[in-house]
Structure 1
Amino acid sequence: MTPFNLIEEISRRHPADAPAVVAGERVVTFGELFGLARPIAESIRQHNTLDRHPRIGLHCPNGLDYIILSLGILLADACLVPLAEELTQDERDEITQTTALDFIVKGAPHHSMINWEIETVESPAVQFPESEFQSLNPAFIRFSSGTTGTSKGVVLSHETLLARITAANEGLQLGPQDRVLWMLPMAHHFAVSIVLYLHVGALTILEHSPLREDILATAEKHQATVIYGSPFHFSLLSGDTSDFQWPSLRLPVATAAALPEITARAFEQRFSKPLVQGLGIIEVGLSVLNLDAASEKPTSLGKALPAYQVRLVDDHGSPVPDGAPGEFQIRGPGLLDAYLVPWNPSPLTDGWFSSGDLVVRDSDDYLTLVGRKKSVINIAGMKAFPEEIEAILNTHPDVKRSRVLGREHPQMGQIPVAEIIPADPSAPPKPLALQKHCRLHLSAYKVPMRFSFVDTLPLTASGKIKRT
């Protein structure tokens, strides 16, 4: 029996003349989109002499070509492994070896046609059981951001992707009437976003300009109803001083990083729409969304979507009371099928996934992310979260960005220290001024005891602060 292929299903769901993607002045219908993807799939099939699902890395800039090449790879019953543009060659080589890629598809921008090539990878040693991997009907291998610990290869099947996007859309409620303005890197957010938009028949509007005037002009021209972006994008848009009110906007979704309250408030004030924050985890998908209290509780993740159950537990696995941080665990559809290396086909415990995120639940059942379990700083038995301290430091006008770490201390166990990128490198803020600023908003033990000034901070591929 032919394995289920989610992309084949999508190709049959919509009229051929229905618009699927807008890229600049070009409007691509579903018929055109799959008309471009199928020859790529056929070429891959002819290139593949293996009697199994090949693993294919995709190295391509953001844009229409990325979508077409991804669809072609998946239509060929291959397993797609994104190779993000910002990766160094060493990082790309590591993913190639870890996933035992068979081929790499390289795409490059071209005026009116897809410019791509496929190269064979010299057979790397496979570090996982090939037959078990193949039995999953694999569609994607994704790698976590690596904020703490070792980044793992997350295996997602076609069936898992369908379950995941179906569960997410119970909250998002996207359909053919929607026009989604897309702002994020596809190598990190393709599987449960653009695949979802295509599945439900929503129009995906691609905008690559970093200028808010261009972004808003595109939103106005195409009457965008939804925008998917990072807090950076929403902070940028909030500074707009034009008379554009964005009347078509119904759902702005902030993801990829924690949403600062100042950004949420500024966006709502400018466009009269509260920013909806969501929690997306590579192993889980989009499972928590702040649909009902985005204005009243802008920094909250919201509540679990209907298909999911959430629990918060302490180090012993016992439930924590409301208001106390506990590890976020979740159960529901679309959770990962396996970890690739080291191979783990049973990564759940009684159906629950342990995220490593520390979350607080309030009396109304709303969830707020406070930090990562592995990054907690233990100061004489009291716990501090680097993310909480960084959020305060980043509001100081002389701070561009910060990173807070725990440093060993003979009496205190650990103390918080901060690395600062100054807003003006020629005039960095005084440490005493930064401490005073922190004391206005934080308990005394959370105030960093040392400050250093740096030009850059180590970031993960998705732009998060790297802790290790």
Structure 2
Amino acid sequence: MNIVERIFRDADRSAVALISEGQEVTYGSLIEQAEAAAARIAALPAAQVALDCPNGVAHVVLALAIVRAGKCLVPMAGELSQRERERVLRETGVGAIVNGHGEIRSVPVADELGFDQNALAALNPAFIRFSSGTTGTSKGIVLSHESLLARVTAANRGLGIGPADRVVWILPMAHHFAVSIMLYLLHGATTIIENSHLAEDVLSAATTHDGTVLYGAPFHHAMLAAEGSGRAWPKLRLAVSTAATLPLATAQAFDQRYGVPLAQGLGIIEVGLPLLNLERSREKPASVGRPLPDYAAEVRSEGELFLRGPGMFDAYLHPWRTRAEVLEGEWFHTGDLARIDEDGDIHLLGRSHSVINVAGLKCFPEEIEAVLCEMPEVHRARVIGKPNARFGAVPVAEIVPRDPVNPPKISALAAYCRGALARYKVPVEFKLVESVPLTPSGKIQR
């Protein structure tokens, strides 16, 4: 089964699939462009193909083409540093890169991969989302065609997106394409692509093109809530907030500004969209609601949230672990701490690990600390999240110098991080300290 073939088979070719920069692209035109690109990509010997392309029509065309050609799509986020890019290519076994112009460049595959290519191929993989693990250990999350179809179908039982909907798109496609854009295309909706980061431009695109659904992070919702023109958004029926904890003030401001409550959801790349606050989003904006119809949730004795449902990830790529090896029975251990209230609504209380959400993008302190400790002048580093009114949180670093008499320069620390990390992961502050707190077992205390 190929999920893109399913999208193309069921599409109304006369309907509008995409709107970008005022131009409309029908499903028929999208299919023609993607099929032409897929014919070229299918001839590649590479099994995994990376897409290095910014948001836009080209990203949609080429991502569909890679998957339609029977290749496994590996998105390359634009904010990655050169070292991070090389790591993604190496650890996912990418053999070719497609850029935004549709140009294809072959790259050498590592002699030794951390996984069995035959075992990966047996899963019928459609997509690998590379991420950092909670301990800084890199891994790729593998989703098969079957799992993608199952999860977007399950998610839409809550979202209810259909041909009459026009979804305003403001998130990075490299992070969200496979699970979100494919859902919209599979169900015949129109996606309005707005690349401006200015609230007035997003609102103009939404009202000009009759946007009905908004799917974004609290950062985007706060920006739109503060938009000062007073213009209404008359066709908006559903506004979903995900990727980071929704602040109460943002929820209230957005509802007051547009008359539509923000429905907070929990999106997890390993699971999909299992939780969405559709019933009591105005009364309980801080809740992620109840499980969607196909999912189940449990909060176990230590307060940790477990989820069960369709479309679970198929494997961790590096180190290789299949879904069966990771799940506890049929349950996925999310790492979130939560409680369930008297109405059955779930409230997230925090993470059992230390992820920092920066404007909807996740970074892990352990990864940043590992980079800092590569510098010979650094004995130990601790990175924590600092609340930020605009971005939600930002990373700050505490540095224990190897030689207190000759400590590293702050400018050198910042420059080294900029060369090794995506921009949003670079600490906004560096503090020289004598020591950082440790647990009794010698681990950094957060």
TM-score range, shorter chain: 0.7 to 0.9
**In the alignment, what sits opposite 1:32?**
29
Amino acid at match of 1:63: G
Code of the residue aligned with 2:218 in structure 1: it is P
Q: Residues 208, 135 of structure 1: CA spacing in aligned structure 2 closer, same or farther, 3 A cutoff? A: same
Contact 2:131 2:138 (C-alpha < 8 Å) held by counterparts: yes
In the alignment, what sits opposite 2:218?
A: 231
- Partner of 2:319 in structure 1? 342
Post-superposition Cα deviations, 1:382-440, rounded to whole Å, max 9, x if no partner, equal: xxxx9xxx999546x9x985558999xxxxxxxxxxxxxxxxxxxxxxxxxxxxxxxxx
* 1:406–1:313 distance in 2 versus 1, CA, 3 Å: farther
Residue 157 of structure 1 pairs with residue 144 of structure 2: yes
Change (3 A) 1:270 1:18: same
Deviating above 4 A after TM superposition, structure 1's stretches of 4 or more consecutive aligned residues are: 145-148, 390-395, 399-407, 457-468
What SS does structure 1 have at the residue aligned with 2:70?
Answer: coil
Please say if residues 292 and 302 of structure 1, whose CA atoms lie closer than 8 Å, have aligned partners that are also in contact: yes
1:457-468 alignment runs, 5 A limit: none
Q: Secondary structure at the match of 2:321?
A: coil
Quick one: structure 1 residues 233 and 341, their matched pair in 2 at CA, closer, same or farther if it must change by over 3 Å? same
The change in CA–CA distance for 1:179 and 1:461 in structure 2 (over 3 A counts) is farther
Shift of 1:145: 5.4
- Equivalent in the alignment of 2:271: 284
Structure 1 distance, partners of 2:210, 2:353, is 43
Q: How does 1:313-324 map to 2 (within 5 A)?
A: 313-315=300-302
Which residue number in structure 1 is paired with residue 373 of structure 2?
Answer: none
1:363 corresponds to which residue? 342
Aligned partners of 2:243 and 2:2: how far apart in 1?
28
Residue 215 of structure 1: aligned partner = 202
| Cα distance, 1:242 vs structure 2 | 2.3
Conserved 8 A contact 1:145-1:462: no
Q: Could you say which residue in structure 2 is the equivalent of 1:330? A: 307
**What amino acid maps onto 2:231 in structure 1?**
F
Alignment check: 8 A CA contact 2:163 2:188 kept: yes
CA gap 1:463/1:249 in 2 versus in 1, 3 angstroms: farther
TM-score by length of 1: 0.76
Distance 2:423 2:133 in 1: 9
- AA matched with 1:44: I
Counterpart-to-counterpart distance in 2, 1:228 and 1:400: 17
Contact 1:164 1:285 in 2 (8 A): yes
Give distance in 1, aligned partners of 2:99 and 2:142: 22
Q: Which residue is 1:270 aligned to?
A: 257
Q: What amino acid is the match of 2:309?
A: G
Pair 99,349 (structure 1): closer, same or farther in 2 beyond 3 Å: same
SS in 1 for 2:353: helix
Paired position in structure 1 for 2:91: 98
Letter of the aligned partner of 2:310 in structure 1?
P
Corresponding position of 2:11:
14
Q: Structure 2 CA distance, aligned partners of 1:272 and 1:169?
A: 23
Task: Report the alpha carbon displacement of residue 314 of structure 1 after superposing the two structures with TM.
Answer: 3.4
Where does residue 51 of structure 2 map in the other structure? 58
The counterpart of 2:154, out of the listed 135, 148, 167, is 167
1:125-144 equivalence runs, <5 A = 125-144=112-131
Distance 1:148 1:372, change over 3 A: farther
Structure 1 CA distance for aligned equivalents of residues 77 and 168 of structure 2: 21
* Aligned mates of 2:219, 2:115 — CA distance in 1: 38
State the 1:40 CA deviation.
0.9
Which amino acid counterpart does residue 226 of structure 1 have in structure 2?
Answer: V
**Kept after mapping to 2: 8 A contact 1:55/1:80:** yes
How far apart, in 1, do the equivalents of 2:270 and 2:108 lie? 29
Distance 1:138 1:264 in 2: 37
Which of 63, 67, 70 is the aligned partner of 2:63?
70
Shift of 1:47: 3.0
TM-score, normalized by length of structure 2?
A: 0.80
Is 1:155–1:336's contact at 8 Å kept on the other side of the alignment?
yes
For residues 294 and 145 of structure 1, the distance between their equivalents in structure 2, rounded to whole angstroms, comes to 31
| CA contact 1:256–1:462 (8 Å) conserved in 2 | no
Task: Give the corresponding residue for 2:163.
Answer: 176
**1:460 offset after TM fit, Å?**
8.6
Of structures 1 and 2, the one with the larger relative CO (CA 8 A, separation 6+) is: 2
Which residue pairs with 2:358 in the alignment? none
Q: Kindly tell me: are residues 64 and 402 of structure 1, through their superposed partners in 2, closer, same or farther at Cα, counting changes over 3 Å?
A: closer
Matched residues in 2 for 1:401 and 1:21: separation?
A: 32
Distance in 2 (CA, whole Å) between partners of 1:311 and 1:15 is: 40
Q: Could you tell me how far apart the structure 2 residues matched to 1:210 and 1:391 are? A: 23
1:86 & 1:391 partners in 2: Cα distance?
Answer: 19
Percent identity over paired residues:
48
1:117 paired with 2:94, answer no
Quick one: which amino acid aligns to residue 32 of structure 1?
S
Matched AA of 1:60: C
For residues 464 and 350 of structure 1, do their structure 2 counterparts lie closer, same or farther at Cα, with a shift above 3 Å needed? farther
Task: List aligned pairs for 1:288-299, cutoff 5 A.
Answer: 288-299=275-286
Partner amino acid for 1:71? Answer: L
Q: CA deviation at 1:338?
A: 0.8
Equivalent position SS for 1:133: helix
* Per-residue CA distance 1:138-170 (angstroms, 9 max, x = gap): 000112354654242111000000000010001
AA aligned to 1:106 is N
Call closer, same or farther: CA 1:391–1:57 in 2, change over 3 Å: closer
Distance 1:265 1:460, change over 3 A: farther
Q: Which residue of structure 1 lines up, in the alignment, with residue 74 of structure 2?
A: 81
In structure 1, the residue matched to 2:20 is: 23
Whole-angstrom CA distance in 2 between matches of 1:42 and 1:35: 11
- Contact 1:253–1:276 (8 Å) recurs in 2: yes
In the aligned structure 1, how far is the partner of 2:275 from the partner of 2:426?
22
Amino acid at match of 1:360: R
Kindly tell me the number of residue pairs found equivalent between the two proteins.
385
Alpha-carbon distance in structure 2 between the residues aligned to 1:119 and 1:75: 19
**Does the aligned pair in 2 maintain the 1:101–1:121 contact within 8 Å?**
yes
What corresponds to 1:5 in structure 2? 2
Distance 1:305 1:369 in 2: 16
Shift of 1:374: 2.5
Please say if residues 219 and 392 of structure 2, whose CA atoms lie closer than 8 Å, have aligned partners that are also in contact. Answer: no
